[in-house]
């Protein structure tokens, strides 16, 4: 055989072997990266600062009808893997160790009737969280201190903490804060959607008070005294900045992301981030898709597809038609949505991590943490339930965060701030 011919026939084989070797090395590197992330995920305490609940959580009053009872239990028995984004099996599967279970009350009228209704809603959710801990002590424990968190985790248990979303629950009586503390609440936000008696919300944009109210300042002083973290998520910028200035302890933004990546009324801009960090505070970046990435193009395309196919949303309780025309519409709609999702993918774990990166770049690793807002609208592709929690750690490892940095993001910073708030409380109570 001519030497040139032999070399020419050898070169493709050489290129093939080189390519195969590169792929094998890439696959091995990916396997190593996943193994590294798994080891880190096992060693750190993973803490999510915002998980919404139903007041029927762990209820013992299930309906008698077998079908209704099964659906009720799947929704409300946390030991069962049901439709909720967080339950005990999903927490175990994804390695989510700790969650703040949220006493949420919607914003109502700022009058005695509204305050009374909110107080009852809050009590119902406090009762639900305590009922869960009482009924399932072999699975989960209720933490009232950072030390409790670490002790329960070391014992192999899941950990529940309590946060209050919307100080509207307090009414006009700051002495309620002592009651909230006694029931285990360790953070409370100033507002939710709608202006509260404590301060303005991010929505509506038109302010009611112009920022923090005098009652809001009194509430913050009392929260400081009892060692309850002040939460500025959902607050207007003016309210948030004034709350940070008024608090003697560091504050949190328990479920907010950053305006520097995606402008949204619920996200903090760089000025707010710096003010938060200057007082030792922490932003718990939230994996809520509409705060993480714009979704207008996708939603508009799906709406146009529905109109084109004459395929409106099915009303609650409306039976599903099995006519050939309806079946064909559902098929075409499913195919169309798949094409739209491909063209306009919703927010994913990588998009979420962009918010973490930005916050770290602006204020440093010591002032950033993680939240989901699961079962309250939260979730992104790749972290859409507690079962997928590992994917966040994996993405952080891909971005070259160290184990110590990942520990800080997942729980170290939140627990450090919580201890700082406790220290302020002890100091104030010595005076």
Neighbours of 219 (CB within 10 A): 29
125 and 139 within one domain:
yes
- Whether the bond into 204 is cis, omega within 30 of 0: yes
Token reading at 53: 């609940």
The DSSP-derived string for 346-381 is: PPBHHHHHHHHHHHHHHH-GGGEEEE--BTTT-BBB
317 and 417 within one domain:
no
413 and 355 within one domain:
yes
300 and 194 within one domain:
no
Residues 6+ apart with CB under 8 A from 376: 50, 51, 52, 102, 104
Q: Using alpha carbons only, how large is the chain's radius of gyration in Å?
A: 25
Q: Evaluate whether residue 18 is within a structural domain.
A: no
352 and 214 within one domain:
yes
159 and 239 within one domain:
yes
Token reading at 21: 């070797």
225 and 370 within one domain:
yes
351 and 302 within one domain:
no
**pLDDT, one tens digit for every residue, the chain (431 residues):** 443 334 334 445 544 545 545 555 565 598 999 999 999 999 999 999 999 999 999 999 999 999 999 999 999 999 999 999 999 999 999 999 999 999 999 999 999 999 999 999 999 999 999 999 999 999 999 999 999 999 999 999 999 999 999 999 999 999 999 999 999 999 999 999 999 999 999 999 999 999 999 999 999 999 999 999 999 999 999 999 999 999 999 999 999 999 999 999 999 999 999 999 999 999 999 999 999 998 777 778 888 989 888 888 877 667 788 888 888 888 998 899 888 878 888 899 999 999 999 999 999 999 999 999 999 999 999 999 999 999 999 999 999 999 999 999 999 999 999 999 999 999 999 97
Which among 345, 368, 384 is the end of a domain? 345
Q: Evaluate whether residue 220 is within a structural domain.
A: yes
How many domains is the chain built from? 2
Say how many CA atoms lie within 13 Å of 207 toward its Cβ: 13
Question: CA-CA distance, 82 to 57, in Å (whole number)?
Answer: 12
333 and 283 within one domain:
no
Using alpha carbons, select from 188, 177, 267 the residue that is nearest to residue 231.
Answer: 188
Q: Evaluate whether residue 23 is within a structural domain.
A: no
CATH (domain of 419):
3.20.20.140
Taking the model in full, what pTM does it have?
Answer: 0.88
The domain of 309 spans 296-345
Question: CA-CA distance, 190 to 169, in Å (whole number)?
Answer: 10
301 and 288 within one domain:
no
228 and 128 within one domain:
yes
Neighbours of 265 (CB within 10 A): 15
β-strand 368-371 against 229-231: which pairing, if any? unpaired
């Amino acid at each position: 055989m001519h030497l040139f011919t032999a070399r020419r026939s050898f070169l493709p084989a050489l290129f093939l072997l080189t390519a195969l070797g590169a792929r094998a090395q890439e696959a091995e590197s990916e396997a190593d990266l996943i193994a590294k992330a798994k080891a880190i995920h096992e060693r750190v305490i993973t803490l999510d600062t915002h998980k919404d609940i139903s007041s029927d959580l762990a209820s013992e009053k299930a309906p008698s009808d077998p079908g209704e009872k099964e659906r009720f239990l799947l929704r409300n028995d946390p030991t069962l893997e049901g439709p909720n984004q967080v339950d005990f099996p999903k927490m175990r599967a994804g390695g989510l160790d700790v969650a703040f279970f949220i006493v949420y009350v919607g914003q109502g009228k700022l009058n005695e009737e509204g305050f009374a209704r909110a107080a009852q809603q809050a009590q119902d959710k406090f009762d639900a969280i305590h009922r869960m801990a009482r009924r399932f002590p072999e699975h989960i424990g209720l933490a009232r201190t950072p030390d409790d968190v670490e002790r329960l985790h070391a014992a192999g248990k899941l950990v529940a903490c309590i946060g209050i979303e919307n100080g509207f629950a307090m009414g006009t009586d700051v002495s309620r804060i002592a009651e909230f503390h006694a029931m285990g609440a360790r953070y409370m936000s100033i507002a939710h959607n709608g202006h509260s008696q404590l301060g303005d919300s991010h929505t509506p944009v038109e302010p009611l008070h112009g920022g923090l109210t005098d009652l809001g300042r009194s509430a913050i002083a009392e929260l400081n005294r009892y060692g309850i973290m002040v939460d500025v998520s959902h607050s207007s910028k003016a309210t948030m900045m004034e709350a940070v200035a008024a608090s003697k302890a560091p504050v949190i933004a328990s479920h907010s992301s950053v305006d520097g990546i995606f402008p949204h009324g619920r996200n903090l801009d760089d000025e707010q981030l710096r003010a938060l960090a200057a007082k030792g505070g922490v932003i718990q970046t939230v994996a809520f898709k509409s705060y993480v990435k714009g979704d207008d193009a996708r939603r508009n395309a799906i709406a146009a597809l529905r109109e084109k196919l004459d395929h409106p949303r099915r009303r609650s309780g409306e039976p599903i038609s099995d006519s050939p025309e309806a079946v064909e519409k559902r098929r075409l709609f499913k195919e169309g949505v798949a094409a739209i999702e491909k063209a306009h993918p919703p927010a994913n774990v990588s998009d979420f991590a962009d918010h973490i990166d930005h916050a770290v770049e602006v204020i440093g690793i010591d002032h950033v943490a993680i939240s989901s807002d699961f079962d309250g609208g939260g979730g992104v592709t790749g972290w859409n339930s507690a079962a997928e929690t590992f994917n966040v750690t994996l993405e952080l490892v891909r971005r070259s965060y160290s184990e110590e940095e990942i520990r800080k993001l997942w729980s170290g910073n939140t627990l450090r701030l919580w201890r700082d708030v406790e220290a302020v409380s002890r100091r104030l109570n010595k005076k």
